[in-house]
Structure 1
Amino acid sequence: MTDGDAKTHLHDSLRWIREAVLTKLDGLSEYDARRPMTLTGTNLLGLVKHLATWEARYFGEVFGRPFPEPLPRWDDEDARRADMWATEHETRADVVDRYRRVWAHSDATITALDLDAPGHVPWWPDSEVTLFTMLVHVLTETCRHAGHADILREQVDGLVGLDGDGLALRQDAAHWAERRATIERAARAADPTAG
């Protein structure tokens, strides 16, 4: 595989998973897009906001091509925690549009640079990186958060799948209840001490 093929493959995969993340917001109310679904407050719109912030950094300032809009300081802990949720003053459209603007900026960086182009990540102990390293890192992080989004969306309304088509909606509640009961029986059988 040539460097060009590798770059194209990684970039295409990143483009695909970005869109998959956004499908998790489709059809949700403002509340359901924002509501905290875990003990730590993880929520769907916050995941999008977080991905936008860090992708803007990784394909922006890391390569001396800063994103043209303000970003919270990476070394300010309070500001960093604020990127995981949207305030009532930030609309869903604002967050999604910003993520799409980040994509355009990132895509320009990815297109302009070779895979071995050097970058510097001041918040990493081994701070000297290449575009290849950043492509793999951002793709991995986006996939990780897409998995979080899958689970959160399933908790909101049972919707599962990568294309927003609603796999869970193709089955009735009895189907999913029986599937869950089967899995629960297997878990209990594997651990007879389970309460």
Structure 2
Amino acid sequence: MIDDFAKEYLHDELRFTRQALVWKLDGLSEYDIRRPLTTTGTNLLGLVKHLATWEARYLGEIFDRPFPEPLPRWQDSDGGDLWVTQDETREQIIGFYRRAWAHADATIEELPIDAPGHVPWWPRPDVKLFNIMVHVLNDTTRHAGHADILREQLDGQTGVAAGYEEQIDTVARQAHRAKIERAAKAAARGSDRAG
């Protein structure tokens, strides 16, 4: 009973977070979804490509259910899954992610939560479906958080999912940011005096 509840709960959270991540691309130009927004090159469409690649791998080959499309070998990971070439389209990457979802969803639905799997690159490679569901949900949530920040940097849009967008009140945001800046400066001055 608790196994079914846990499996469905984790699966529902994963479905919601996947949708939220893809939604972060809505309304942005090709340049904005691809351009590097951090010193390491993190970009929105690259996050989607990365999660598609690893979800296909973790909820596929780990359980002897290989994804039906070629994936780069995990040993050859060179960061190529974290950015998108000029020849890869938004539709291709989102389509790849949706196909990875369908493949992963089939694995989750068809296997019991204690189904054994093997992750050769982990120090303790023998796992259960439960471990991998938590791992994939954690990774997806972490990268959705990155996408939240990147999107806010681009156009100020915030919110956890479509339909929950927060209206942009520029004056209120500027006042809130100024309050936080004042508090940070005051704390720094206090720390300088104490040291």
- Which bracket does the TM-score occupy, shorter chain normalised? over 0.9
Aligned to 1:173: 170
Aligned to 1:118: 116
SS in 2 for 1:129: strand
Distance across 2 between alignment mates of 1:54 and 1:48 = 10
Aligned to 2:35: 35
**Does the Cα contact within 8 Å between 1:35 and 1:43 map onto a contact in 2?**
yes
Matching residue's letter, 1:94? Q
Q: Which runs of 5+ in 1 are unaligned?
A: none
What is the RMSD computed on CA atoms of the aligned residues?
1.2
1:108 corresponds to which of 106, 109, 115: 106
Matching residue's letter, 2:138? T
Aligned to 2:182: 185
**Does the Cα contact within 8 Å between 1:121 and 1:129 map onto a contact in 2?**
yes
TM-score by length of 1: 0.94
Matched, 1:2 2:15: no
* Superposition deviation, residue 175 in structure 1: 1.4
Listed as ranges, the matches of 1:60-139 within 5 Å are 60-78=60-78, 81-139=79-137
* Cα-to-partner distance string for 1:87-128 (whole Å, 9 max, x where unaligned): 000000000000000000000000010011000001111100
Matching residue's letter, 1:33? I
Percent identical: 62
Matched, 1:53 2:53: yes
**Does the Cα contact within 8 Å between 1:26 and 1:164 map onto a contact in 2?**
no
Listed as ranges, the matches of 1:136-147 within 5 Å are 136-147=134-145
* Superposition deviation, residue 162 in structure 1: 1.2
